[in-house]
């Protein structure tokens, strides 16, 4: 039985988000719709989710003592990690003491670190993956590159959205790639994974929901990344029934091994009817922002319902849809978003402005959404919307 108390009262049902970016913002909105009291935590003030939460805290979530202090102060019913840079060992400890971590502390601990999840998938579950090796020093890194071969991809074992990730195409790229991996990881310098390129036709994200009624899947999402960072996505990505069934088998295998309730973004490479596992995130996925226009329940609504133990009765895809990130370059703490009337003048379109307080260098600041009769039509709409959209920096 799922019951929810009254916000700000002694019986309030409380959720604490660890990480308060644009994805967390949508999770907060869905949790508020279901009557929860929500606390947002991040390393900087006025993060997107903080703007819609009931209250917030600014701490380094890698500081285990401060993290525990905030959790014990609020005593939430649900702890929902939304980023990688968290003292996951502390979450494991707190879960053992009775706190509920979403989906589980074990899942968070494994997936916040690429070494743990790759070892689980390839070595324990026997899933096909790209060739890989791990390195903790530059000397080990050079050996891994030689072993895997060129070209290859290097990523910090603890990062997201392309931070610290680069492609090593020649020997001259080796040292710069190592240096970038040590400065771009969410937890600072540390271990990296070196992955070999695999021959694949396309890559998908299969949003997989573990809930009280079983396991459900959204239609597969195709996406484009630049330097490891999401730029556009579309749904449903066309694929054979055989490949889709195999992708669902892989997604269920890895999510069952991780356990708990919530949405998982399972990334896979597809070659014909063959499937290779890439990564999994135990939370909403940036490519899944397309679901805010493509289906009856967005990935954020699905996550909130699953967390609360509500079964997912149905997931209805409205039509082909697309999303496109708005990446702003420059340095400013005062931005002005212009021409919204023109951007949203087209039918079956929408957008989200994330409300990030500043941009330094380049930063994803909004997403454009559209539906169409075909994926190509929806994607073309978002391209036109981007041309009309203007962001001014003061």
Q: Work out whether strand 152-156 and strand 166-168 pair parallel, antiparallel, or are unpaired.
A: antiparallel
Q: Which of 160, 216, 278, 382 is catalytic?
A: 160
Is 160 a known active-site residue? yes
Q: Which two tokens stand for residue 170?
A: 């020649």
Does residue 312 contact residue 207 with C-beta atoms inside 8 Å?
A: no
Burial of 304 (C-beta count, 10 Å sphere; 0-12/13-18/19+) = buried
Q: Which of 22, 26, 279, 379 is catalytic?
A: 279
Backbone dihedral angles phi then psi of residue 173, each to the nearest 5 degrees: -85, -15
List the Cα angle 130/136/139 in 5-degree steps. 95
Is 249 a known active-site residue? no
Q: Which of 100, 232, 364, 371 is catalytic?
A: 364
Is 279 a known active-site residue? yes
Q: Which of 13, 286, 294, 305 is catalytic?
A: 286
Q: Which of 5, 35, 162, 228 is catalytic?
A: 162
Which residues contact residue 173 at a Cβ distance below 8 angstroms, ignoring those fewer than 6 apart? 166, 167
Is 286 a known active-site residue? yes
Q: Which of 111, 287, 294, 298 is catalytic?
A: 287
Is 162 a known active-site residue? yes
Q: Which residues are marked as active site? A: 160, 162, 267, 279, 286-287, 364
């Amino acid at each position: 039985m799922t019951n929810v108390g009254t916000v700000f009262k002694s019986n309030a049902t409380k959720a604490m988000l660890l990480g308060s970016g644009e994805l967390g913002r949508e999770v907060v909105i869905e949790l508020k719709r279901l009557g929860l009291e929500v606390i947002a935590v991040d390393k900087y003030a006025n993060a997107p989710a903080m703007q819609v939460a009931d209250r917030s805290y600014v701490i380094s979530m890698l500081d285990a003592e401060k993290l525990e202090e905030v959790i014990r102060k609020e005593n939430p019913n649900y702890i929902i990690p939304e980023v990688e840079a968290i003292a996951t060992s502390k979450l494991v400890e707190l879960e053992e003491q009775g706190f509920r971590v979403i989906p589980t502390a074990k899942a968070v601990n494994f997936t916040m670190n690429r070494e743990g999840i790759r070892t689980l998938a390839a070595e324990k579950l026997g899933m096909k993956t790209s060739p890989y090796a791990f390195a903790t020093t530059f000397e080990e890194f050079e050996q891994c590159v030689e072993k895997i071969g060129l070209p290859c991809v290097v990523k910090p074992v603890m990062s997201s959205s392309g931070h610290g990730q680069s492609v090593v195409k020649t020997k001259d790229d080796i040292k710069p790639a190592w240096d970038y991996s040590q400065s771009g990881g969410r937890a600072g310098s540390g271990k990296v994974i070196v992955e070999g390129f695999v021959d694949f036709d396309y890559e998908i994200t299969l949003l997989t929901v573990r809930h009280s009624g079983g396991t459900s899947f959204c239609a597969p999402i195709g996406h484009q990344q630049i330097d490891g960072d999401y730029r556009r996505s579309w749904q449903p990505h066309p694929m054979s029934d055989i490949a889709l069934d195999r992708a669902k088998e892989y997604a269920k295998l890895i999510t069952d091994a991780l356990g708990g309730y919530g949405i998982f973004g399972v990334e896979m490479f597809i070659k014909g009817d063959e499937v290779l596992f890439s990564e999994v995130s135990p939370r909403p996925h940036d490519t899944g922002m397309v679901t805010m226009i493509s289906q009856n329940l967005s990935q954020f609504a699905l996550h909130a319902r699953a967390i609360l133990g509500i079964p997912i009765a149905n997931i209805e895809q409205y039509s082909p849809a697309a999303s496109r990130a708005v990446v702003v370059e420059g340095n400013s703490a005062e931005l002005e978003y212009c021409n919204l009337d023109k951007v949203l003048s087209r039918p079956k379109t929408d957008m989200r402005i994330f409300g990030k307080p500043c941009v330094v260098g380049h930063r994803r600041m909004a997403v454009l959404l559209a539906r169409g009769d075909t994926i190509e039509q929806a994607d073309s709409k978002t391209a036109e919307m981007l041309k009309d959209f203007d962001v001014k920096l003061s």
